[in-house]
Amino acid sequence: MKSSLALYIMRNYIIIILQFFFILILQSTSFAQSNTALKYNGKFELAGMEVSNKDASGTGIAFYTTHGVDIKSKAFIGLGTGINYSFSVENIFIPAFLQGDILIYDGSDLKPFASLKVGGLFCTSRSSNIFNFNPSIGIRYSKFALTVGYIHQYGVDKDNMSSPMGGPKHIIKSKYNYDGVTIGLIFSLR
């Protein structure tokens, strides 16, 4: 009961944060037309990941698209989605996340930056609630970037199982934590 309440609060908290940043981005893009400090930017990322815990491990591949605003060419904030495929469990997940990037050093053509994605993953084939936390560091050159990051996923699977005698269905919940590494290649529109 306690974990389902925590997931309910976490899911609603993420939804409220995503709505707030979506409104902020909409306001910023209309403001950016008259002010050069804020400019629209879209990013497309192809990423690979390896996650594990004490019981299991897995690999996956992801394609993300994130859209938001560059702030004075030093930072980026946006909302993203995409598609994740897990080779180990053979499932497709749809992510929804908030992404923030900040430039660490702007003195050369190679620009190091830090990035953070926070959001959720939604499974297309079973009832899963997954919280995703993905900080990373990267190097940007022109419109391309290479990132390496840490990923933490906390999830709860809910499966409806019928009783062996054909009686009422029971919900079985399993909780898990995964930690791992991500590597990404990013193309930016700006």
pLDDT for res 5: 63
Q: Which helix or strand (DSSP H or E) is residue 2 part of? A: helix 2-32
pLDDT for res 163: 46
pLDDT for res 118: 95
pLDDT for res 108: 84
Q: What are phi and psi of 42, to 5 degrees?
A: -120, 145
pLDDT for res 48: 93
pTM: 0.75
CATH of the domain at 150: 2.40.160.20
- The residue whose two tokens read 């079985």 is 172
The three-state (H, E, C) secondary structure of 10-29, written as one string: HHHHHHHHHHHHHHHHHHHH
CA neighbor of 89 nearest in space, from 48, 53, 134, 56: 56
Q: What three-state secondary structure class fits 4?
A: helix
pLDDT for res 169: 59
pLDDT for res 88: 82
Q: Distance between CA atoms of 189 and 16, rounded to whole angstroms?
A: 28
Per-residue confidence in pLDDT tens, the chain, 190 aa: 555 665 666 666 666 666 666 665 565 555 545 556 788 999 999 999 998 887 778 899 999 999 999 988 889 999 999 999 988 878 889 999 999 999 998 878 899 999 999 999 888 777 777 899 999 999 999 999 999 999 998 888 776 555 455 555 556 577 778 899 999 999 998 7
Please state the domain count of the chain: 1
Dihedral-angle region of residue 16 (phi above 0 means left; psi in -120 to 50 means alpha; beta otherwise): alpha
CA distances 58 to 14, 23, 67, 108, Å, are: 25, 36, 28, 37
Residue ranges making up the domain that contains 98? 2-188
